[in-house]
Amino acid sequence: MIALGCDHGGFELMQEVKAHLTEKGLEFKDFGTDSTEATDYPIYAKRVAKAILSGECDRGILICGTGIGISITANRFKGIRCAVCHDVFSAEATRQHNNANILAMGGRVVGPGLALMIVDKFLETPFSNAPRHCNRIRQIESDEN
């Protein structure tokens, strides 16, 4: 189950993402927003982060104007690893190396063609499970140096 959240800056791109996921038969939960009316990105970042941490959803996709504000908010939650990706290489690498559980994009940065390729790569790529990557991910939330 994929959790979706966006603000007004990401609303139009999110409609493309939703149509794409539906076409592929992938299930999602839409946590808003539901129009291009101005709103606040932290609302949707928090909803999606909580849905993942509770186990209600496995992965998330967040879209604001740049992908930045919404990712900063999501990354304040322990256990959330939200990566802003505007290229396919980064989407693959952040799954393999960082086990990112949320993809963030900017609706004012990427067009729908590239964005959907990024979404596909993010969703299809497994975590490598290599000990060095597991160790580094553990260090993200550790107080040790």
Query: Is 8 labeled as catalytic in the residue annotation?
Result: no
What is the phi/psi pair of residue 42, to 5°?
-60, -30
Q: How far is the CB of 77 from ligand RB5 (least distance, A)?
A: 17
Q: Binding of ligand RB5 at residue 9 (CB under 6 A)? A: yes
- Residues numbered 56-95 forming contacts with ligand RB5, rule: CB under 6 A: 64-66, 68-69
The residue nearest ligand RB5 at its CB is 69
Task: Give the nearest distance from C-beta 42 to ligand RB5 in angstroms.
Answer: 10
- Output the smallest distance, CB 69 to ligand RB5, in A: 3
Task: Based on the residue annotation, tell me whether 133 is a catalytic residue of this protein.
Answer: no
- What residues are annotated to the active site? 64, 97
The binding site for ligand RB5 (CB under 6 A) comprises 7, 9, 41, 64-66, 68-69
